Amino acid sequence: MAVKTAPLTENQTANLADMFRLLGDPTRLRIVLATLDGPLPVGTIAAKLDLSQSLVSHHLRLLRGARIVRHERKGREVHYQIHDHHVACVIDDMIAHVSEVREAEL
Amino acid sequence: MAVKTAPLTENQTANLADMFRLLGDPTRLRIVLATLDGPLPVGTIAAKLDLSQSLVSHHLRLLRGARIVRHERKGREVHYQIHDHHVACVIDDMIAHVSEVREAEL
DNA sequence: TCTCCATATGAACACCTATTCATATATAAG
DNA sequence: CTTATATATGAATAGGTGTTCATATGGAGA
């Protein structure tokens, strides 16, 4: 199936690149992957990934700004989860692609 | 639909991040988007996007290494196109996501 | 109020990388 | 072999950013 590609505006291209760029850092990507499992407080994410609380918070701020994750206060904690299932799909597709490439290599 | 996420190995996560990172640069993304239209020689891509030949070549090298694009010699020219339709799908999904987000904002 | 805990934020630095410029390689034609 | 065109490559640099450390903010309980 050929893909129809209507030309994107400059802003659309920039937004698109931003999304990819934010997912392009290994640490940040690990954080995003962690938020796929469900709403998790910042401290739990940091502990699970063995990262400093500050670093996780910095990254979550960026991810929040791009609407890759959503947050919700629960008492003193702030729980983060993937923003929507569309973002999750994009990530899953890329995982599938990477897997296929690896298979083709072997 | 909830997404089942089998934990990825360190290498898989790194590969995944690399794919996203390569698509995360605006200039490189524009080049990738251009290759969606079909096999194009380097010079044509450079001209169409108003970029230097050297810059385009550098980026194509990286994209080739990650199997995001494929190349084929045609006489003196080297034609580039998107590597496979799976990569095209990932990009289209992200475009759709960005579009949806923009709509939700207005 | 004060204290504790969880998270956010600001500044500073070190590293990475996108870009440019110059040059090399490769293919085709005379 | 020489010339011309198309692409690739190497080095150098300027700007961006991921990380750390220190500190601030904010909610919960006494």
Query: Per the CB < 8 Å rule, is B17 touching A37?
Result: no
Minimum Cα–Cα distance from A84: chain B residue:
B97
Q: How many domains does chain A have?
A: 1
Reply yes or no on whether the pLDDT at A104 is more than 70.
no
Q: Is the CB of B52 under 7 A from strand C?
A: yes
The phi and psi torsions of A82 (rounded to 5 degrees) equal: -55, 145
Residue B59 distance to chain A (closest CA, Å): 15
**Residues of chain A with C-beta less than 8 angstroms from the C-beta of B99:** 12
* Spatial strand order in the sheet of B77-82: B40-41, B77-82, B69-74
Q: What are the tens digits of pLDDT across the range A8-46?
A: 898 899 999 999 999 999 999 999 999 998 899 999 999
The secondary structure of residue B25, as a DSSP letter, is S
Instruction: Please answer whether residues A35 and A45 qualify as being in contact, where contact means their C-beta atoms are separated by less than 8 angstroms.
Output: yes
Put simply, the answer to whether A24 touches B26 (Cβ < 8 Å) is: no
Burial annotation A68-90 (CB, 10 A radius, 16+ → b, else e) = bbebeeeeeebbbbbbbebbbbb
Point out which residues pair with B82 in neighbouring strands: B69
CA distance A95 to chain B (A): 7
Structural domain including B68 reads: 12-105
Would B2 be classed as within a structural domain? no
Does the residue B5 lie in any domain?
Answer: no
Q: Does residue B68 belong to any structural domain of this protein?
A: yes
Strand partners, A79: A41, A72
Interface check A29 vs B, CB under 8 A: yes
Q: What pLDDT, in 10s, does the model give residues B1-28?
A: 555 556 889 889 999 999 999 999 999 9
Domain for residue A75, yes or no? yes
Cβ burial, residue B62 (10 Å; 0-12/13-18/19+):
middle
In a domain, B41, yes or no: yes
Best mutation target among B1, B3, B18 (most A Cβ atoms within 10 Å) is B3
CB atoms within 10 A of CB A54: 10
What Å distances lie between residue A102 and A44, A59, A93, CA to CA? 32, 29, 14
- Do residues A55 and A87 touch, judged by C-beta distance below 8 A? no
pLDDT, tens digit (0-9, with 9 covering 90-100), for B35-67: 999 899 999 999 999 999 999 999 999 999 999
Inside any domain, residue B82? yes
* B23/A17 Cβ within 8 A: yes
Q: What CATH number has the domain bearing residue B27?
A: 1.10.10.10
